[in-house]
Amino acid sequence: MNGTPQRANLGRRNRSRWRSDRGAYTAELAVALPALLLLVAWGMLGIGYAQASLKCDDASRAAARAAARGEPTAAVEAAGRQAAPRDARLVVARAAGMVEVRCAAAVRVAGLRTFQVQARAVAAVEDLDPVQPPPTEPGR
């Protein structure tokens, strides 16, 4: 017997094995794509939540600094609103030489879900005495 028919047979067997794998990539992609999209959506939610939380932190700190300097309530709220997320609520409380500012907002992240974020900042009220000019010597 000649070795040629066996080689031809082996080639057919390998080709049939390759044909049985046909469409496997499509099936794997169909399973992996929704999982990948879910991971991307969770990542967007996390980034959006972190961004809104940082904005609330910045707003409460800016408003607390302004209130500690003794600025009027309108200026304090303007300083906080400039850094706050849209539709945030700012609450300023003054007591015993301290100023506390709370910022809270409901933030819709990527059109998917609404989160409640909040932050709090406390600052000591600054005693702003006018600067006295140095005494001058007579005759100078």
| Residue 18 is assigned to a structural domain of this protein | no
Task: Evaluate whether residue 140 is within a structural domain.
Answer: no
For residue 45, what are the domain limits?
23-124
In a domain, 58, yes or no: yes
Query: Considering the domain boundaries, does residue 36 fall inside one?
Result: yes
Q: Does 114 map to a domain?
A: yes
Residue by residue, pLDDT tens for the chain (140 residues) are: 555 555 555 555 555 555 666 667 787 888 889 999 999 988 888 888 899 999 999 999 999 999 999 899 899 999 999 999 988 999 999 998 999 999 999 988 777 778 899 999 999 998 866 666 677 777 66
pLDDT of the residue at 21: 67
User: CA separation (Å) from 86 to 50, 66, 77, 103?
Assistant: 15, 20, 13, 11
Is 31 inside a domain boundary?
yes
pLDDT of residue 127: 80
Q: Please state the domain count of the chain.
A: 1
CA distances (Å), origin 64, targets 55, 105, 117: 14, 17, 18
pLDDT value for 59: 96
Residue 15 within a domain: no
Q: 14 lies in a domain?
A: no
